[in-house]
Structure 1
Amino acid sequence: MTDYKEQSKETNWDDGHRLWPLPNMPWTMKQTWNDLLFAHFPVNFNVLRKLVPNIFPLDTYDGVCWVGVVPFHMTDIRLRGLPPIPGTDKFPELNVRTYVTIDGKPGVYFFSLDATNLLAIKVARTFYHLPYVRANMKVEKQGDMIEYESVRKSEDARFVADYRPVSEKYFAEKGSFEEWLVERYCLYTLNPKGVPLRCDILHHPWELQLAEANIKENTMLSSRGIVVENDSVVLHYSKQIEVRMWPLVKAF
């Protein structure tokens, strides 16, 4: 039998930093994520509990839940065994997410994923049961400054910001708040029958930088009924990371 865990290391990748083994099956998709901003907002547990399916246990840090708005742009998108398909191999994406854990496996739960590519949206909604929506998006880079704009087509959900890194690169310390926020190696979703599913991912540990951002417009949270505790926002930046995704499996 082929050991697909070994195949995950075909480019000297190491999955030793993950808390649980990868599924014994081949990865299905490869992506590179670029110029990410992690903008995290504190949210009361009771507020968030009403918005996330009860089957997903919410994570808290010091008793507080956090919701992230994460703009970035993807490149080098391809399915395993296939070359990149022109027109679908790169596009911007904007995620609104929070954090849950099932069976000791900390992961991400998405409220929404905005993107420009209609085919990619249909594929992700069909095969990964993710709440992708289409938006008009623009990403420009001026030196180390990222100018980002996303305006959803179907509703008043928009994010307009300029952001950039303001520190040297570093890795989150073990047990730190930053590690709790970003070092998560799966996503959770529900299929149409309400069955909780997990998608495992693999990438190197995040190289973070502190960030500053001028957030000019942000209705990404209010459009989903998310009320933040206060106006404080925790900002991090990451330049680039290569990611591999596995097929969905049952979360329990």
Structure 2
Amino acid sequence: MRLPALCAGWMTPTFVHWAYPVRAVRGLVPEPLEVEEYEGSAWVGFTPFVMTDVRPAGVPARLPGLPTFAETNLRTYVRHPDGRDGLWFLSLEVACPVMLAARVIGAPYHPGVLEVTRSGESVRYLGRRRPGRASYRLVVRPGAPIERPTERDVWLTSRWRAYTRRLGLLWETPVEHEPWPLAGATVGELEETLTAEAGLPAPTGEPLVHFSDGVRHVRMGVSVPCARTP
């Protein structure tokens, strides 16, 4: 990446994924983006994590006092007409008001009270939108490392750009980081209303769940308008 805007770490994420009929997701994704499918389904991911040492490019991570805060995204997977894939965020919950500035390019950030804690072998994520009713509670127990991630593991967790829409323009934000060190995980508790608030039907079936200790070298690029399609 030639022009990173921000650097950070993305720590202790859990990736919770549900398969959905494409028709349930299509209306939440703007044209010209297409909903990507895997094994005949669209996928919606619920991902809480901690963003650490957030700083402008060039500022060392060891500098004292850099912001660290919890964030949670609800997303699906899309493809642009130019063939490149990426994320489409259905909602973004954040405990740091500074991140709300990304609304200028259409990132659907909502302020909230978020918490990530580790206790013994479990990781607990709590969040509540303020103002609003959206909330979640997730407790997972990380399992064994996944030494050889499958194609589906990578497809669900590794995307290198996010799309947003603002004032009639589609924007692209590139992202780079080292590969996720993935592990399996079992869910102890899961309650959430983010999917309903986003306009999705209630998830059905058991979710696919991955955990990661995180990545420390995340580079987020400058957001730019996408070229208009014919």
What TM-score results when the alignment is normalised by the length of structure 2?
0.90
Shift of 1:229: 5.5
What does the per-residue CA deviation read over 1:13-70, in whole Å, with 9 as the maximum and x for residues that have no partner?
xxxxxxxxx4xx4211001011100000111111111111122111001210010000
Identical aligned residues as a percent:
29
Q: Which residue does the alignment assign to 2:40?
A: 63
Q: Which residue does the alignment assign to 1:8?
A: none
Are residue 148 (structure 1) and residue 125 (structure 2) matched?
Answer: yes
Q: Aligned runs of 1:74-85 on 2, under 5 Å?
A: 74-82=51-59
Shift of 1:210: 0.7
The one of 217, 223, 226 equivalent to 2:197 is 223
Amino acid at match of 1:96: L
Distance in 2 (CA, whole Å) between partners of 1:214 and 1:105 is 36
Shift of 1:118: 1.1
> Any conservation in 2 of the 1:186–1:201 contact (CA below 8 Å)?
yes
Distance in 1 (CA, whole Å) between partners of 2:58 and 2:182 is 31
User: Helix, strand or coil for the counterpart of 1:167?
Assistant: strand
The one of 91, 94, 97 equivalent to 1:115 is 94
- Specify which structure has the higher proportion of strand: 2
> Any conservation in 2 of the 1:171–1:208 contact (CA below 8 Å)?
no
Amino acid at match of 1:94: T
Shift of 1:80: 1.5
What TM-score results when the alignment is normalised by the length of structure 1?
0.83
Which blocks of at least 5 consecutive residues in structure 1 are unaligned? 1-21
Q: Cα 1:229–1:138, aligned 2, differ >3 Å: closer, same or farther?
A: closer
Runs (4+) of structure 1 moved beyond 4 Å? Answer: 83-88
Which blocks of at least 5 consecutive residues in structure 2 are unaligned? none
The one of 59, 65, 76 equivalent to 1:98 is 76
Amino acid at match of 2:157: V
Question: How many residue pairs align between the two structures?
Answer: 224
Distance in 1 (CA, whole Å) between partners of 2:12 and 2:147 is 15
Shift of 1:221: 0.3
Q: Cα 1:248–1:171, aligned 2, differ >3 Å: closer, same or farther?
A: farther
RMSD value, Cα: 1.9
Q: Aligned runs of 1:90-239 on 2, under 5 Å?
A: 90-102=68-80, 103-121=82-100, 123-126=101-104, 128-173=105-150, 176-191=151-166, 193-228=167-202, 230-239=204-213
